Amino acid sequence: MKEAVSPFHLAIPVYNLNTCRTFYRDVLGCEEGRSSDHWVDFNFFGHQLVIHYKPKESKADLHTNPVDGKEVPVPHFGVVLSWDIFHAFAEDLKSKNIEFIIEPYTRFEGLVGEQATMFFYDPSGNALEFKAFKDMNQLFAK
């Protein structure tokens, strides 16, 4: 089914609301929207992300899947950015000393689906992936 891209809504748990609020607002540059004592809305690159307070639980087992010889955390979420925005964003994150799970790199270089990707955690341990396609028309190419 082909349809115009619509903003998604995603609500995620965080055990440190104020630290995550600062991270999404000041580190990732997301505009803050509505909020309460238990949640905060953000404009997450044109999408609605809501961080909800949830008490910290004992550390759950981290699950990863191997991709390109790297361990990709599951679950994870993020946004597909334009090629130039991705690279500028990656440099900005490096300047803010983000600890990457997977450093920014290019997959399928010179092939169909060439893409740049990077992974890192927010302060509550939610895994984020940002990526960009050299040719956005190849987003779903096989």
- Region 17-29: mean pLDDT is 97
Rounded to whole angstroms, the Cα distance separating 45 from 7 reads 9
- Region 7-13: mean pLDDT is 95
Q: What CATH homologous superfamily does 7-54 map to?
A: 2,3-Dihydroxybiphenyl 1,2-Dioxygenase, domain 1 (3.10.180.10)
User: Is 64-142 in CATH node 3.30.1300.10?
Assistant: no
CB 2 within 8 A of CB 11: no
Q: What is the pLDDT of residue 141?
A: 85
pLDDT band at 60; cut points 50, 70, 90: low
- Region 8-24: mean pLDDT is 96
With a cut of 90, say whether residue 33 has pLDDT above it.
yes
CB 27 within 8 A of CB 19: no
CB 129 within 8 A of CB 105: no
- Region 40-54: mean pLDDT is 96
With a cut of 60, say whether residue 112 has pLDDT above it.
yes
Q: Which of the pair, 89 or 61, is modelled with greater confidence?
A: 89
Q: What is the pLDDT of residue 36?
A: 95
The domain segmentation of the chain, as residue ranges, is 7-54, 64-142
Rounded to whole angstroms, the Cα distance separating 104 from 108 reads 14
Query: Does this model's pTM top 0.75?
Result: yes
User: Do the first three CATH levels of 7-54 and 64-142 match, i.e. the same topology?
Assistant: yes
Largest separation between any pair of C-alpha atoms in the chain: 48
